Amino acid sequence: MKKMINNPDHVIEELMEGYIIAYPEYIRRTELHQRALIGKKRNPNRKVSILIGGGSGHEPAFIGYVGAGMADGVAVGNIFASPSPIPIQAVTKEIHNGHGVLYIYGNYAGDLMNFEMASEMTEIEDEIQTAAVIGNDDVASSKDIDDRRGIAGELLVYKTAGAAADFGYDLEEVRRIAQQANDNTRSMGIGLSPCYLPQTGKPSFDLEDNEMEIGLGHHGEPGIEKTTIRTAKETVQVMMQNILKEGLYKENDDVVVLVNGLGATSQMELFIINKEVDAILKARKINTYKSYIGNFITSMEMGGFSVTLMKLDETLKSCIDHPVDCPNFKEV
């Protein structure tokens, strides 16, 4: 393990400090909890507040998606571990505006437990109404949709929910639109090389030098198959087959394409991957409405990537078109 850090026990506090120092106009601490961070750029039209969060190690997620048109606050967990209910409650109390708070998080046991507990605490102790949308876009993680993990597709759910909140909708309507975004979104990932956990120095998974893992989760959860490494074209064909066989994306549909790097995979490769995704969509006469190519939700220095599609209706298009302003995620 080769990491440019100081003390492995302090990486979370130090990365938060380095982030806040870089972008003080976007985010601040709250006295309520050191793992609770609050956005500074709130659209005055916004009634409902958006709270995101999850484990650390996915930078710029989740901290980087607090900003205008996106989340109002973030609860920060340990590496690949859910935040506890206490910072979630702290963020909720600080950002709620009398109109309720929407929680958006991934479908992982720890996140489910902690966000649900925080929701109960804030409703009983603080009389703040909450709702939740739980990301489950990873088609490789289970045949049963309710058991699927949330991976990069959550970025598009944040963007949709943030826009709906900026439009001034109430909690139930923001939740409904964000849930629709989630329901229209499918992803699949590929692992090429592991990341290393700072405290243990252990790799997140094992692969031979010539192997890749199809369907790998973004904490290194096992995928569908380990194979020898294939070309970008062959790999994307397998991924798109799995995404398209869901039956959600049809001729003349408009979709968002998200090619997300996990950390160590080069931008050059992500662009080549996008070319292959596009060829398959064009062959099916599915229209790409917008593309996002980059490292949006990483797994530290893991090698690999995911491909995500989100099907758009008119409401979701208006949300995707809505401007956002986060330090490294801006649309004008």
Binding site for a second copy (CB under 8 A): 2-6, 11, 14-19, 21-23, 56-57, 59-60, 64, 190, 192-193, 195, 209-210, 212, 229, 231-233, 235, 257, 263-276, 278, 288, 291, 293-295, 298, 300-301, 303, 305, 323, 325, 327-328, 330-332
Residue among 58, 96, 218, 322 flagged as catalytic: 58
CB of 101 to a second copy, least distance (A): 26
CB of 21 to a second copy, least distance (A): 5
CB of 122 to a second copy, least distance (A): 29
CB of 121 to a second copy, least distance (A): 29
Q: Which residues face 79 on adjacent strands?
A: 56
* Residue number with CB closer to a second copy (209 or 251): 209
* Residue number with CB closer to a second copy (18 or 125): 18
CA neighbours closer than 13 Å in the CB half-sphere of residue 225: 9
CB of 292 to a second copy, least distance (A): 8
Residue among 96, 218, 219, 322 flagged as catalytic: 219
* Residue number with CB closer to a second copy (131 or 310): 310
* Residue number with CB closer to a second copy (145 or 229): 229
Is position 58 annotated as part of the catalytic site?
A: yes
Rounded CA separation 261/303 (Å): 8
Q: Computed over its alpha carbons, how large is the radius of gyration of the chain?
A: 19
Q: Which residues face 254 on adjacent strands?
A: 287
* Residue number with CB closer to a second copy (22 or 113): 22
CA proximity to 105, closest of 169, 47, 37, 155: 155
CB of 81 to a second copy, least distance (A): 14
* Residue number with CB closer to a second copy (12 or 75): 12
Which amino acids are annotated catalytic? Answer: 58, 219
